[in-house]
Amino acid sequence: MRVEDRRELVITAAMAVFGERGYVGATTDAVAKAAGVSQPYVVRMFGTKEALFLAVLHRAVDRLLTDFTAVIDANPDSDTEQLRLGLGNAYGDLLADRGLLLSLMHAFVAGSDPAIGATARAAFLSVYSLLRSRARFTAEEARDFLAHGMMLNTMVGMRMGLEIDDPVARELVECVSPINADLIVRLATDR
């Protein structure tokens, strides 16, 4: 296989592993196993584990920006409310991956690491900028949209779906995202 394709494969595998265990908790060996290659090869392809994580983050934010841009471009005449729904749906689709948004979440709370922190901040700001300029959200609308997203990520990250038999947890999950409630449960139960 060409090294370029293998790279993409490894990044995909790494996204799942980093999303599951976080930057420090993930091992290059777990990534290698998930990608079906040897551990030294993973390290040599990216140089360091950190570089691999940064590659994952770049792909994650690229995907986020691409998908959001597609929604915006597909609805040139939509008002904010319509756009909010469309972008919310796109976010839900991205959530189905779990690794993507959770890798970003892990980066967001790892701001103390210089390289990861800088990448995380740039990623967050690029999404915020997209909402402000291209989607024409007000600052408050963008803030609320992103806050809602952080909440959704948190639900998935802590596997709140495992508590779905608790009426309080069910109410919370349904309220956070009615259309994604089933997905949250499934993502919590998986694996």
Partner DNA sequence: GAGGGAGGTAATCGAATGATTACTAGGGAG
Partner DNA sequence: CTCCCTAGTAATCATTCGATTACCTCCCTC
Of the pair 42, 173, the CB lying nearest its own copies is at 173
Who contacts 21 (Cβ-Cβ below 8 Å, separation ≥6)?
27, 30
Given a contact cutoff of 8 angstroms between Cβ atoms, the answer to whether 14 and 53 are in contact is: yes
The three-state DSSP-derived secondary structure of 29-75 is HHHHHHHCCCHHHHHHHHCCHHHHHHHHHHHHHHHHHHHHHHHHHHC
Phi, psi of 77 (to 5 degrees): -105, 10
Report, in Å, the least distance between residue 19 CB and DNA: 15
The helix (H) or strand (E) run that includes residue 122 is: helix 114-129
What secondary structure does DSSP assign to 126-180, as a single string? HHHHIIIIIS---HHHHHHHHHHHHHHHHHHHTTGGGGTTSHHHHHHHHHH-GGG
Among 22, 86, 88, 99, the residue binding its own copies under the rule CB under 8 A is 22
Report, in Å, the least distance between residue 75 CB and DNA: 41
Mask 150-169, x = binds its own copies (CB under 8 A)?
A: xx-xx--xxxx-xx--x-xx
Report, in Å, the least distance between residue 47 CB and DNA: 7
Window 4 to 33, contacts with DNA (CB under 7 A):
4, 6, 26-29
38's contact among its own copies, DNA, none, with CB below 5 to 8 A by partner kind, is: DNA
103 binds DNA (CB under 7 A): no
Window of 1-9, 68-76, 127-135, 139-147 that interacts with DNA by CB under 7 A = 1-9
Report, in Å, the least distance between residue 41 CB and its own copies: 24
Given a contact cutoff of 8 angstroms between Cβ atoms, the answer to whether 31 and 14 are in contact is: yes
Report, in Å, the least distance between residue 113 CB and DNA: 13
Residues binding its own copies (CB under 8 A): 20-25, 102, 105-112, 117, 120-121, 124-125, 128-129, 132, 139-140, 142-144, 146-148, 150-151, 153-154, 157-160, 162-163, 166, 168-169, 171-172, 175-176, 188
